[in-house]
Amino acid sequence: MEVVPLLDAHVHLWDHSVAGLEWTWMKPGAGRPGGRGAQEVDAPRYTPVEFRAESAGASVLGMVGVHSATLACDPPRETAWLQALADEDGWPQAAVGFCQLGSPGAAAVLRAHGLHPVVRGVRDLTVSQELDLEAAAPAMAVAAELGLSVEMRTPLDRFPVMRALAEQWPSVSIVLSHAGLPAGRTPDDLGPWAAAMAGLSGAPNVTCKVSALASASDPDWTVDSLRPWLIGCLEAFGPDRCMLATNWPFDRPWGRYPDVVAAYREIASVLTIDEQHALFHGTAEQIYRIAPMQAPELEGSHG
């Protein structure tokens, strides 16, 4: 049986020795959500070297490095560091920086990100509280000009605003992160979440990043507990508009990397092989403008 390789579309990197950058939520002793004690992810650094070691055996082709530095840091400074990693190591193959879309200086931040070829998109962590379409317009115009995707996560009741943004800027790829962050994982939560996902998918330029499923929201997850949420994403958006990611190493307290990916593979086995290729790497390659990566390339890569 063919093992479809994964391009992990959501990995966090850091190095506390880098001047001018802070990852306070990852510093030793900072603590992790869920109270998992010895399983905390705190470490002096987490770079592609550490990621490849942890993901060994899971048939990972590459990764997208996603913003994780403290918001008070200068966002383009972090992308400059990610670019330096990519130049030296070849990984990450793409990066997503931070930008508060509605801020007065957002357009300038986007242009600064755009100076680094590894950057293919930005994400805004503040839209969970508010998303002002008019205020975000200058930034969205620059995103359209530079071909940058825009990633966000927002409660289900704000999905209509996110869809309105997507419809207003149809040339911009909008990425819904973490499978829409379902607040609960009970059967009663599944229906409203699925309905909201179906509504959002009506905007064809919205893509679903299926990540953070095996997380604090489902700390004792099993393949069966993850299945309805992964299948729900696929039913709403289809494999060509879904991409798998792990939110690693943030979600390490709730499972081993190979086990999470193996669970994804078991659930996705109901798809055709072409659909699996889209889900595991094809959609991410398209959204982040990464040259198609095939399994033979994996054998000659960084192991």
Residue 131's pLDDT is: 85
pLDDT tens sequence across 251-263? 999 999 999 999 9
54: in domain: yes
Average pLDDT, stretch 35-58?
82
Tell me: the pLDDT tens digits for 178-188? Answer: 999 887 889 89
300 pLDDT above the threshold of 80: no
Is 246 within the bounds of a domain? yes
Q: Is 179 left (phi over 0), alpha (psi -120 to 50) or beta?
A: left
Which pLDDT score is estimated for 295?
58
Q: Report the alpha-carbon angle 269-271-275, nearest 5.
A: 120
Q: Is the pLDDT of residue 34 over 90?
A: no
Give dist(CA 208, CA 283) in Å, integer.
10
DSSP notation for 200-236: HTTSTTEEEEE-SSSSTTSTT--HHHHHHHHHHHHHH
Q: Predicted confidence band at 294 (pLDDT cuts at 50, 70, 90)?
A: low
Number of structural domains found in the chain: 1
Q: Which long-range contacts (CB under 8 A, 24 or more apart) does 232-235 make?
A: 232/190, 232/193, 232/194, 232/197, 233/179, 233/180, 233/197, 233/208, 234/271, 234/279, 235/194, 235/198
Strand partners, 63: 8
- The CATH number covering residue 267 comes to 3.20.20.140
Task: Provide DSSP, 183-199.
Answer: S--SHHHHHHHHHHHHH
Q: What is the 3-state secondary structure (H, E, C) of 259-286?
A: HHHHHHHHHHCCCCHHHHHHHHHHHHHH
Name the amino acid, one letter, at 1: M
Domain assignment of residue 298, yes or no: no
Q: Has residue 12 been placed in a domain?
A: yes
pLDDT given for residue 303 in this prediction: 33
Q: Does some domain include residue 302?
A: no
Report yes or no on 295 lying in a domain. Answer: no
The model's pTM is 0.93
In this structure, the strands spanning 149-152 and 119-124 are parallel
Per-residue pLDDT at 265: 98
Q: Which residue has the tokens 């330029």?
A: 205
Summarised one tens digit per residue, pLDDT across range 125-180 is 888 777 899 999 999 999 999 999 999 998 899 999 999 999 999 999 999 999 99
Average pLDDT, the chain: 91
Residue 300 lies in a domain: no
Residue 199 to residue 218: CA distance in whole angstroms? 24
Residue 30 pLDDT level (bands cut at 50, 70, 90):
low
- What does each C-alpha distance from 185 to 196, 272, 301 come to in angstroms? 15, 27, 38
- Bridge partners (DSSP) listed for residue 71: none
- Asked if the structure places residue 87 within a domain, the reply is yes
Q: Which residue has the higher pLDDT, 295 or 247?
A: 247
Q: Which residues contact 157 (CB under 8 A, 6 or more apart)?
A: none
Tens digit of pLDDT for each residue in 263-291?
999 999 999 999 999 999 999 999 999 99
Strands (E) in the chain, as ranges, are: 6-11, 14-15, 45-46, 60-66, 94-98, 119-124, 149-152, 174-176, 206-210, 242-244
For residue 278, give its domain range. 6-290
Residues 55-105 have pLDDT tens digits of 999 999 999 999 999 987 899 999 999 999 999 999 999 999 999 999 999
CB-CB contact of 102 with 130 (8 Å): yes
